[in-house]
Structure 1
Amino acid sequence: MPKLLPKNPLNFAKKQLGHGVNALSRLQKTASVAGLSALRVAKGDKMDAQLLREAFEQMGVTYIKLGQFIASTPSIFPREYVLAFQGCLDQTTPVPFAKIRQVLIDELETDSRGLGDIFSYIDPVPLASASIAQVHKAVLADGRQVALKVQKPDVDTIMHTDLSVLHGAFWALEKVVPNLKAASLAPIVDEMRARMLAETDFLAESAHIDKFLAHLKQVGNDKVTAPTVHHALSTKKVLVMDLLMGKSLIDESLIWDGTAGRDSKQIMSDVLDTWFLSLMMTGEFHADLHAGNLMLLNDGRIAFLDFGLMGQIAPSSLQACFGLVQSLQINDYRGMAQAMVAIGMTHRADKIDIDRLADDLQKILGKITPNAYGQPPKPVQIGAEGNDGLNAMMLEMVEIGKRHGIHFPRDFALLVKQLLYFDRFMVTLAPDMELFEGERLSLVKE
């Protein structure tokens, strides 16, 4: 909702002055961490990917997001850096509630409306905390329960300040990683800037939620939902949504034996059918749909949560991505090779030797695939630790593709890793189920 006037002009002026001070403080912290890292190198530590990750985590939000960008873009960054940043987790210590409350005041209060007119209660203990925001449970003045996703103080100032010096950071990276000299860095910086700033715009996230809910209504899907956004109370820094009650699909207290209507195979099928059809019809996909972002509601519906990370992929590459995952499932290396060429953004597809590419895939992936797909069912894990085999396969495919002149689309890694994650997720919830079957198989073949 657009703000009218600052409630307190003096406080507003102080806040604007504070932005300048915070930017200077941010530059000083960045320089301090960089200096300490340089001192470690001078004392004998190797300037490698692990040291860089440690420095990024110390510098906070922007560099954590940069690390995640590196981890999800194996087509650009060297293997050792992609691997090192796979464990760059976006989990941080919550900021004091007083600071969160101040953000709410700045964003929602006007001359005619105070925070107490909007909320009757806000739980000071957050439900979750990440680098950009934390989530609190609250009750509106009319008694409705909501979830507040509130951007942490000064995140926008920090990110803009950090992004302004990224060119300098890339200059340093070029010295450490000579392979980056051959890359065109300007588009990379632009891509990172766009992705990072998009995550600080909660109005953009609310638009993704609205689009998903509109899709569900259009196709008559009443088995799946997402939290409804309260647009009149949401801004770029505050996202107010209905509070959904239920349990994560990995909650150990859930009984997956068909009792109470909890049929794990049917639930998994509903999740996959919804995700696939949404992708085919809207052109975008939820790119972080791990089990922690899926909730079984008390009324039996499935909720998709957290639409902060979305991907897009051209229809011309979509079918080939599906074909690649199908080939991976059955160790069809020639099928993998053909799919990679179809996905790849290259003008020399007719010059690529499919048989040689297939041989290279078999030599490398043949050592990895059994570990990823041949193990007995085991509990699914959230995060990088549970995806080591899948990440290894993705990295190897990208590396092999590079050697054969194949360059992948921007969100290729996000899409294929999400598909592979579904495949692993099914091992726990529906081991006798196929990723591509029934309606999903029909969609893929269209």
Structure 2
Amino acid sequence: MKLHRPHLLKHTLNVANRVRQTASVAGLSLLRVAQGEKPDAMLLKETFEQLGTTYIKIGQFIASTPSLFPRQYVMAFQDCLDQTTPLPFSYIKKVLQEELEINGKTLDELFLTIDETPLASASIAQVHAATLSNGEEVVLKVQKPNVKTIMQTDLGVLHAVTKVLEKLMPSMRFASLAPIIDEIRLRMLAETDFIAEAQNIRDFQQFLTVSNNTRVVAPKVIERLTTKRVLTMSRLHGVSMIDEAAMRQYCSDPAQVMADTLNTWFASLMLCNSFHADLHAGNLMLLNDGRIGFLDFGIVGTLKAESWRACLAMMQALQDGDYRAMAQAMVDMEMTHDKDNVDVDALASDVAKMMQVVAADDKVLTSGKPFNTKEQADELNKMMLEIVEVGKRHGIHFPRDFALLAKQMLYFDRFLQVLAPDMDMFSDNRIQILAQDNTLADAASQNKDLPKLVS
């Protein structure tokens, strides 16, 4: 769409200002290196956090994509923080007025109250509690200023830099950096469209309805008050699912709550358009009425049914110590476009050697216990990185959504440490990893409205 002169001038100034800010932060980091500081992964992480929105998201992408980045960077960015200084309410109010005051309705007519103190403030949006004119409690997710301009500017600069690097250093072409930046652009810009996030919520709610799941709930989207820059949802009240004492106010068995959570999520892999890929402690809660709340559907993934089955086969083979089966599952997961040329026996041999090294480094793996302590969870993360590195040597590449799935399972592992330390998510009889229930299977095959498996 063609910009009018005032808007074009403002856009140009915003771009110029962003380039200046980026140059300033990058210059300070280079100065630190010149003064003798090691240019390592931690320095890059600190620089990214100072650069804000785009670079924080890129850091999170690095952390969730071990197939594309060196181990030290993946590990460094695991805790890349997406918390920012709150914006003044005057800005939030201005956006709400621009987006919601239509058909002559003012904010005072739409809302009884809007809490000026934010519930949360991240790189893309700020969240405020509010009450609708009918008394319903809601939360308002409001996009921060110039987010799209900042992202497009940053990613445009990065894309140009990678093109130059690939020309100056032909060896860089193997890493395919430019396509990676393009993928990051698509995914990050999608996060700035709250209409898309609202659809993710509706898809999940449809899945809950068709599968007759009354144990789990997602916020209701208030359609008339949702735009690309503002997402209005019903407010859910509850407690964090890493606080067992608080949970016992609303349930008698926190372990069963965790089992219900896992069952829902595992079923969504097969029966929903997408799976929630960011269920950390801030996005999962036990509600005051005993139900389980899934929050924030800005980051979702998709996985083919065949890939998920192969993933389960790989994990089962890992537990059984069957490295030939584990190697075959890695190939079956469609992580490679040339699977017929992979030497499965050679891959199995390398996997076995890798596991021997990992086991020798950490006795936890040889304890015979489920991965349910912090040390075991950290070891599982390291092992995933090792598996990826072995796979790369055989031409196998994990798709990003598989990395999102693996990361989410690490989140679940940490929940289990608190709520059910004796539960093994892959062998406990309370957990249905595959949709074995006939009702779900029938619904999947007969109900036209049910989201189909990803093709």
The Cα shift of 1:380 comes to 8.1
Report the counterpart of residue 51 of structure 2 in structure 1: 59
Change (3 A) 1:333 1:367: farther
Q: Which residue of 2 aligns with 1:267?
A: 257
Counterparts of 1:212-361 in structure 2 under 5 Å? 212-251=204-243, 253-254=245-246, 256=248, 261-329=251-319, 331-343=321-333, 344-349=335-340, 350-352=342-344, 353-361=346-354
Q: Deviations over 1:306-350 (max 9, x none)?
A: 111111122221111122233344555444333222223141445
Q: Which amino acid aligns with 1:398?
A: V
The question of 1:115 aligning with 2:107 is answered yes
Task: Give the fraction of aligned pairs with identical amino acids, expressed as a percent.
Answer: 54
Q: Number of residues paired by the alignment?
A: 430
Name the SS for the 2:138 alignment partner: strand
Q: Cα distance, 1:368 vs. partner? A: 6.0
Equivalent residue for 1:101?
93
Which segments of 5 or more consecutive residues in structure 1 lack a partner in the other structure? 1-11
Instruction: Report SS of the residue matched to 1:407.
Output: coil
Contact kept, 8 Å, 1:394 with 1:413, in 2: the verdict is no
Deviations 1:375-417 (A, max 9, x none): 9999988xxx996333312211111111222212231111122
Cα deviation digits, residues 106-138 of structure 1 (max 9, x gap): 211236122212111111111111111111100
Amino acid at match of 1:137: A
Q: Residue by residue, what CA displacement relative to the aligned partner does 1:24-49 show, whole Å, maximum 9, x if unpaired?
A: 11111112222222333333333332
CA contact under 8 A between 2:130 and 2:139: conserved in structure 1? yes
1:287-436 maps to which residues of 2 (within 5 A)?
287-329=277-319, 331-343=321-333, 344-349=335-340, 350-352=342-344, 353-367=346-360, 370-371=363-364, 388-436=378-426
User: Where do 5+ consecutive residues of structure 2 fail to align?
Assistant: 442-455
1:362 counterpart letter in structure 2: M
Query: 1:57-100, CA deviations, whole angstroms, 9 ceiling, x for partnerless residues?
Result: 11110011111111111111122222222221111121111111
TM-score (norm 2): 0.85
Contact 1:250 / 1:291 at 8 angstroms: preserved in 2? yes
What residue is the counterpart of 2:448 in the other structure?
none
The one-letter amino acid of 1:339's match is A
State the partner residue of 1:147: 139
Given the alignment, which residue of 171, 189, 203 partners 1:211?
203
Q: Determine the C-alpha separation between the residues in 2 that align with 1:327 and 1:190.
A: 35
How many Å separate the matches in 2 of 1:172 and 1:33? 21
Which letter does structure 2 place at the counterpart of 1:196?
M
AA paired with 2:409? L
Greater mean deviation of Cα atoms: 118-127 or 260-269 = 260-269
CA–CA distance in 2 between the matches of 1:227 and 1:37?
Answer: 42
CA offsets per residue over residues 230-274 of structure 1, 9 Å max, x none? 011001111100011111112354254xx7543122211211111
- Secondary structure of the residue aligned to 1:443 is coil
What residue identity is the alignment partner of 1:27?
Answer: V
Residues 277, 264 of structure 1: alpha-carbon distance in 2 compared, 3 angstrom cutoff: same
| 1:15-94 → structure 2 map (5 Å cutoff) | 17-94=9-86
User: Measured at CA, do residues 101 and 16 of structure 1 come closer, stay the same or move farther in structure 2, by a change above 3 Å?
Assistant: farther
Amino acid at match of 1:234: T
Distance 1:295 1:98, change over 3 A: same
C-alpha displacement of 1:280? 0.6
Maintained 8 Å contact 1:325/1:416: no
Report SS of the residue matched to 1:136. Answer: strand
Partner of 1:5: none
Cα separation, partners in 2 of 1:364 and 1:178, compared to 1, 3 Å:
farther
Deviation larger for 221-230 or 343-352:
343-352
SS at 1:45's partner residue?
Answer: coil
Alignment of 1:135 onto 2:127? yes
Q: Which of 167, 183, 191 is matched with 1:199 structurally?
A: 191
